[in-house]
Amino acid sequence: MLTITLAIFIPFLAALFVPSIYKWKPDKIGWFILIIPLVLFISLVRFIPRVAGGETISHTFDWIPSANIYFTTYLDGLSLIFGLLITGVGSLVILYSIYYLTARESLSHFYVYLLMFMGAMLGVVFSDNMMVLYVFWELTSISSFLLIAFWYHRKQSRYGAQKSMLITVSGGVAMLAGFIMLYAMTGSFSIRENIAMIGEFTNHALFVPAMILVLLGAFTKSAQFPFHIWLPDAMEAPTPVSAYLHSATMVKAGIYLVARFTGIFGGDAVWFYTVSIVGIFTLFWGSFNAVRQTDLKALLAYSTISQLGLVMSLFGLGSAALHEGYSDQSVLYAQATFAALFHLINHSTFKGALFMVVGIVDLNAGTRDVRRLGGLMALMPVTFTIALIGSFSMAGLPPFNGFLSKEMFFEAMLTVRHLEFFSIGSWGILFPILAWVGSIFTFVYSMIIVFQTFFGAHQPERLDREAHEAPMGMLIAPSILGLLVVAVFFFPNVVGDYLLRPAMSAIYPSLPNIAGAMKSIKIWHGPNLALWMTVGVVVIGFLLYASLKYWRSMYKVGPFRWGLDSVYNGALSMMERSSTVLTNRYMTGYLRHYLIYIFGIFLILTAGTLVLVGGVPFDFSNDSSITVNEYILVFGMMVAGVLMIFVSSRVTAILLNGVLGYSIALFFVIFRAPDLALTQIVIETVTTALFLLCFYFLPEVKKERVKRPAKIVNLLIAISVGTLVTVIALAVQGSNMFDSISIYFENAYELTGGKNIVNTILGDFRAFDTMLEVVVLFIAGIGVYTLVKLKSRKEGRDVED
Amino acid sequence: MKINDVILRTITKLVVFIILTFGVELFLAGHNDPGGGFIGGLVLSSALVLLFLVYDIETVQKGIPVDFKKVAAVGVLFAVGTGLGAVAFGAEFLTQTFEVFHLPVFGDTELATVLLFEVGVALTVVGTVVTIILSISEDV
């Protein structure tokens, strides 16, 4: 059905119209933009019953069929969840951004980038063809780059944008290599076909490398350890962007990828261990580092990292279900995937709400530093309520949806202890322990958000602005998310039956009964070990929070202080330095040197090829005899050429050059090529005028003092290049390696109606060449114009260097 | 510096029209005889360059108030647009076609879509050449 394909393109098309709408109604633009995700969300919601009924919808049109690249969109349970998140959270974020961004900002850029991102993200989740997926994947990185650098006059914004771009794009390239390896194995770029065929290839030499490369893409995008360092710096983006890209959607693209490729790689021990260990460690590391943050947004960034780790580890565990087909055991492990999907949705609701709350606090109190905030509860009651709901949900407390998925998470972690394959042994116990420790830190930082911001003493003198409640409109979006947090707690199985179960069958296409076998989500499941773990988290977490000021200094000692950030910065500046050294070595600024490189490389490549293929059979037998006229012309040209070296004025040199050009035109006349002769004459005339113009700006020709060895080198290069060109011209005559292509043009008159075969070639047979040449000519003209006309102007804005 | 170039100016006034006519002739002749969009465009621009050389830029631009950057852009639009036009009619990109029409004055005349394409080429050439020469010469 076409609508899914259309859904991908609607945001892109809408982005085209943003500038004109912006001109028309600059202060109302957000409301126009809001329509798009809202319409898309509603049309996707209408698919829910069909998809829940087990239907999948796909549509294909050819893109580059010769390279096996088809634009296939595919809607199943998994992509539906992501599609709903992208459009749903997207609508709320745009509604919020209408109030968050003032009309002074360049709103048209903002919404163009945002729509571009939305389209790209929909493309990622709806594409079945890996190449198409990759294109959209990189597009999300690019739009994220543009959005992080939205306030590009800030140095930190540019730094964060560059960092996220470098890390996610290099991950993306690794992923591309992985896709190509998969193609090399199975011969298909379709994910579904790969899932169906991969069974025969699990022992292929490329199987594990492809898996690792695809995982690199997923881990960089989803900010998994050790690639998580870009996410905190990405927080320089406007808060709506952080809420949308860097917590609800884009960072989940990696998780989507893992879920989608579970069908291909799941069931393998390497996949199981890599995904679950990286995930669980990221969970721990993210939450551990979140506690030390004083900036609320940085805290949320680390918390996002840790929550992404949580979901990732659950998908890792869930992949064990594919190890040995359908059994009671595999149902048990698939429960982890079920929990992962549930937490994915829950995280989007509560983290989106929290980001919006932090944005409100930042805007209406002038700071996001928890050391300066406090006592805002009375001043911002609605904001406080939403923050409370979001944080307690994140901490895993009832009656919020985070409690349910956290319990399921603990249960899944506890099942690892019983894992009997993958030679896990007693190491399995580490999973629940790390999960538990990570959850304690999660609890602590959730408390920091609520208590240090909204309780305690209000310090108006340390705030930049007088704190007050946000306007109604700004509170709508976070309130809706807050309500969802509570609603999902009370009716979890609505989500479970309509969204999660269809997604389960999408992740495990080889286990068709798995969706039905999932236990339904219970609010109260009796006092089991998972519940006691939660109780432990609350008790110990509360003690830790109370004693925070005693142990916080721990972060300042030893290994915790050196971050991966310094590794990244060091590597970057080292690369910059060494490439500067390397470039300066050969970029001397002397035109003479550059000509030496150009001609030298030309010599080596061309002469080398000629020697290697032995392509110099001279054959003069078919040549016609040379007339006196031609001798005279060639003699004249030689004289002009030799004289040019010795003249002292540039004008004379130009005129001599003209002699060469016009003589060539004469040759064309003799050889009966009037087209070429005409062109040559006019070109010669125009370029002579152009040269004379340019030389007006050049200084007088001065005798250059060149050392003798350099002169000899130049002489050698000049002579050998001249010889080589002559040899090539002769060799072309002598060899006949390919069939003549003139059969294409033989009946040119019947095909094109033109009697001038040269022009029919230019305009009809090889029109693509001509068109691109025209474009290149135009680009060159514009290039000259801009180089000459637009002298570098410093922007008036306060751009930090 | 004031040079006495009355002869040059007088001849130019005459010659420019001859060159321009020749350029248009070359452009139209291209289908069956030597000529075409590229060479036609070049000849046209050489006439303009001659004007710029003989008179100063201000005088010429007063007479021909055209932004040559836009001329070049329109040319590219033509060249690419005719390609897309073919797609709109369900043919491959850049497919050209021709048809013989019976016109009142000219009799049986062959009209080809390649003409539009060549218009694009010619306009781009004129626009680009003049833009380059103008921008370099104005940078004094």
For residue B47 the two structure tokens come to 């006439």
A686 and A595 fall within a common domain: yes
What pLDDT sits at residue A647?
85
- Segment A396-425 shows an average pLDDT of 82
A577 and A522 fall within a common domain: no
Cα–Cα distance between A69 and A133 in angstroms, integer? 11
- Residue by residue, DSSP assigns A748-775 as HHHHH--S-HHHHIIIIITHHHHHHHHH
What pLDDT sits at residue A198?
84
Give A363's pLDDT tier (boundaries 50, 70, 90): confident
- Domain residue limits at A772: 743-795
Facing B42 at nearest CB: one of A683, A696, A763: A683
Residues of B in contact with A752 (CB under 8 A): 96, 98, 112, 114
Residues 6+ apart with CB under 8 A from B71: B123, B126, B127, B130
The answer to whether position A692 is within a domain reads yes
Reading phi first (left if > 0) and then psi (alpha if -120 to 50, else beta), residue A422 is in left
A675 and A751 fall within a common domain: no
- Segment A469-486 shows an average pLDDT of 89
Task: Name the more confident of A749 and A140.
Answer: A140
Residues of A in contact with B131 (CB under 8 A): 781-782, 784-785
What pLDDT sits at residue B1?
47
Give B56's pLDDT tier (boundaries 50, 70, 90): confident
Facing A781 at nearest CB: one of B34, B121, B127: B127
What pLDDT sits at residue A327?
79
The answer to whether position A184 is within a domain reads no
Residue with tokens 């804005």: A797
What pLDDT sits at residue A645?
83
- Each residue of A17-76: pLDDT tens digit? 988 888 888 888 889 999 999 999 999 999 888 888 888 888 888 888 888 888 888 998
- Decide: A453 and A387 in contact? Cβ < 8 Å: yes
Q: Do A674 and B34 touch (CB under 8 A)?
A: yes
CA distance, residue B7 to nearest chain A CA (Å): 20
A576 and A438 fall within a common domain: no
The answer to whether position A416 is within a domain reads yes
For residue A111 the two structure tokens come to 């919404």
The answer to whether position A576 is within a domain reads yes
Among A172-186, A499-513, B45-59, B96-110, the range of highest mean pLDDT: A172-186
Facing A689 at nearest CB: one of B53, B69, B128: B53
Residues 6+ apart with CB under 8 A from A17: none
The nearest alpha carbon in chain B to A755 belongs to B32
The nearest alpha carbon in chain A to B135 belongs to A785
A285 and A422 fall within a common domain: yes
B28 touches chain A (CB under 8 A): no
Give B3's pLDDT tier (boundaries 50, 70, 90): low
Give B84's pLDDT tier (boundaries 50, 70, 90): confident
Instruction: Give me chain A's average pLDDT, please.
Output: 86
pLDDT over 50 (residue A1): no
- Decide: A82 and A500 in contact? Cβ < 8 Å: no
Residue ranges of the domains in chain B? 6-138
- Each residue of A641-696: pLDDT tens digit? 999 888 888 888 888 988 999 999 999 998 888 888 988 998 888 888 888 777 77
- Segment A777-793 shows an average pLDDT of 83
A659 and A767 fall within a common domain: no
Our count of domains for chain A comes to: 4
pLDDT over 70 (residue A798): no
What pLDDT sits at residue A531?
86
pLDDT over 70 (residue A715): yes
Give A346's pLDDT tier (boundaries 50, 70, 90): very high
A417 and A274 fall within a common domain: yes
A638 and A787 fall within a common domain: no
Q: Do B117 and A690 touch (CB under 8 A)?
A: no
pLDDT over 60 (residue B140): no
Residues of B in contact with A790 (CB under 8 A): none
Task: Name the more confident of A749 and A41.
Answer: A41
Q: Do A784 and B136 touch (CB under 8 A)?
A: yes
Tell me the CA distances in angstroms from A602 to A607, A614, A735, one per residue in order. 8, 17, 21
For chain A, what's the residue count? 801
| CB atoms inside a 10 Å sphere around CB A302 | 25
What pLDDT sits at residue A178?
94
| CB atoms inside a 10 Å sphere around CB A449 | 26
Residues of B in contact with A762 (CB under 8 A): 36, 38
Residues of B in contact with A696 (CB under 8 A): 140
User: What does the CA dihedral A698, A702, A704, A705 come to, rounded to 10 degrees?
Assistant: -140
A452 and A397 fall within a common domain: yes
A441 and A492 fall within a common domain: yes
What pLDDT sits at residue A34?
92
pLDDT over 90 (residue A511): no
A289 and A395 fall within a common domain: yes
The answer to whether position A778 is within a domain reads yes
- Segment A514-524 shows an average pLDDT of 80
Residue with tokens 């939450």: A287
Q: What share of chain A is helix, strand, coil (3-state, %, to 5)?
A: 75, 0, 25
Give this prediction's pTM: 0.78
Give A2's pLDDT tier (boundaries 50, 70, 90): low
A469 and A597 fall within a common domain: no
| CB atoms inside a 10 Å sphere around CB A779 | 13
